[in-house]
Amino acid sequence: MSVSIDKTNSVVLSADHITKTIGAKNIVDNLSFDIHQGEIVGLLGPNGAGKTTTIRMIVGLIQMSKGDVKVCGHSVRHQFVKAIRHIGGIIENPEFYPYMSGFDNLKQYQRMSEGVTESRIHEVIKLVGLQDAIHKKVRAYSLGMRQRLGIAQALLHEPSILILDEPTNGLDPAGIREMRDYLKLIAREEGIAILVSSHLLSEMELMCSRVIVIQEGKLVTERSIGSEVQTDQVTISFRVNKTQPALEAVHQLNDVRVIGTDTNRSEIILQLKEEIIPQIIKILGDADVSIYRIEESKQSLEEEFLKWTGGNRIA
Ligand SMILES: Nc1ncnc2c1ncn2[C@@H]1O[C@H](COP(=O)(O)OP(=O)(O)OP(=O)(O)O)[C@@H](O)[C@H]1O
Ligand SMILES: [Mg+2]
């Protein structure tokens, strides 16, 4: 299932019904989503929702119980080496040699990887804004600088997608802002996709163009953010018997933006001019989709997020 902000951009990563079962429990349960070139996507959910587990499966740190992930068309399950080449990731705290400079750490990494040039090292240092500190020893780095050095390292082999698990954890407000600005810059300058996890909606709203919300391992909803609602447009949710065929049918219309899906409630959420609603009803009928309810949605994203996640444990 994909809700793309820009349907013209190519899919870089596609998660297809990924599941992780431990004991009798699915800690990640049938999760599917696509990530497109150039977008920053937030994987959002309360503590214990399954964000880290999802990311660990994508980067091959743990095996999937079911499903697969394709990265630039390569299967993580069956073509791991080809798939992982396109991923730059920081999953746990990046490890560096503290007694070496940031620069020497990157050089060390270069020696261990193929095809990383000296000029690429300078390029990534500039991208993460570490020019002034790069010859200092890593043990003198702040947490924010260390994180940025980690991102520089993850970018060295020119990945198509950068995957970061809670990159702002532990940073102070200035550090969080800095990280956000650098990630936006990287997405723009490198033209790559970024997937970041977080449990903070407020942070994701400032950083991401789209959020994938999960809870107890399941997809709750996908939402585009930051899009201004034009005054002649309304946000309408359609409760249907099957969301995927409904989305496919709606994609045929040009003047409709899919801004979300709510799998639990079997809803698709569209932004459109109200004159188009009869056309939507017709097109869904033609696609054999039954409509149970049509409602205007006026809630803020935060109210909805609290509703989806039960309103607990969200800072
Ligand atoms: N190896 C494991 N064995 C058993 N349960 C596990 C294992 N790894 C994770 N879990 C459980 O799976 C759930 C999801 O964990 P996960 O770390 O993926 O969540 P998260 O969304 O990253 O949470 P946080 O925001 O706290 O980082 C949690 O309930 C966790 O206790
Ligand atoms: Mg986690």
Question: Which position has the token pair 């969301």?
Answer: 243
C-alpha 23 – ligand 1 centre gap (Å): 13
- pLDDT for the residue 305: 72
- pLDDT for the residue 152: 94
C-alpha 268 – ligand 2 centre gap (Å): 28
Supply the residue whose CA is at minimum distance from atom 1 of ligand 1.
22
How far is CA 25 from its chain centroid? Answer: 24
C-alpha 198 – ligand 2 centre gap (Å): 8
Instruction: For ligand 1, pick from 53, 58, 215 the residue to mutate: most ligand atoms within 8 Å of CB.
Output: 53
Q: Which is nearest to 243 in space by CA: 263, 258, 260, 257?
A: 263
Q: How far apart are CA 42 and CA 222, in angstroms?
A: 10
Q: Which amino acid is at 17?
A: H
Supply the residue whose CA is at minimum distance from atom 2 of ligand 1.
22
Tokens of 100: 């070496």
Ligand nearest the Cα of residue 54 is 1
Supply the residue whose CA is at minimum distance from atom 8 of ligand 1.
53
Structural domains for the chain: 11-215 (3.40.50.300), 228-308 (3.30.70.100)
C-alpha 73 – ligand 1 centre gap (Å): 28
Core vs surface per residue 115-149: b (16+ CB within 10 A) or e: ebeeebbebbbebbebeebbeebbeebeebbbbbb
Ligand nearest the Cα of residue 198 is 1
C-alpha 199 – ligand 1 centre gap (Å): 13
Taking only the tens place, the pLDDT of each residue in 101-114 is 999 999 999 998 88
Q: What angle do CA 63, 65, 70 make, to 5 degrees?
A: 65
Ligand nearest the Cα of residue 91 is 2
- pLDDT for the residue 251: 86
How many residues in total does the chain contain?
A: 315
The ligand 1 atom at the shortest distance from the C-alpha of residue 55 is 18
- pLDDT for the residue 313: 45
- pLDDT for the residue 310: 63
Question: Which position has the token pair 């409630």?
Answer: 265
26 lines ligand 1 (CB under 6 A): no
49 lines ligand 1 (CB under 6 A): yes
Regions of the chain short of the pLDDT cut 70 = 1-9, 92-93, 226-231, 299-301, 304, 308-315
